[in-house]
Structure 1
């Protein structure tokens, strides 16, 4: 059995844990009774659904599936696109929460880092 690099194991753990937390928090915001303030619906729905992709990507990376690096890249690109749309929304005076800005910066950064790591590893 080939030993998995520590950085890949960390990336997998981050992807799966972050995905599960995203599903839970997004589900509470969408289907719970908690007042989340000035949520931006398209961002909330995207993040909730993306949580499932995070978990799938993490599992795929753990198993060494050939499609998992491209899924990671797809998550990074679509997250950056949704973040750009969110910034557009904010720029034109739409209501928003500061925690959404922080969350989108975090999500985009994490997935760019994961995608870069696994794509660089795939090339090697």
Structure 2
């Protein structure tokens, strides 16, 4: 996790709890990466955003709430993708009990990933160097 430096750039967007927002989150990410001039591993990042947003919708966003996609780029060109939700618990894979393929895909594509607690909910993140 890139904790030693402040992000050079950051953008985020909030989405309501509907399936259509996964495509919108992916589009927001593609547009942000284009504005930032990030081309390396863009397809991997877009797939990870789709997986993390889908997981948030399926497991982390209670009815009537939403989730936030936050993108950060650091001075060393590391791109960090975060999905914030307000649901309870941690990721099943973080607990060593994967239930699906989403986080397995994220783990395979990203250079690092993890889960952080927040009140309420959690942040699932991944980084690309």
Identify the TM-score tier after normalising by the shorter chain.
Answer: 0.3 to 0.5
Structure richer in helix, relative to its length: 1
Specify the structure having the higher radius of gyration (Cα).
Answer: 1
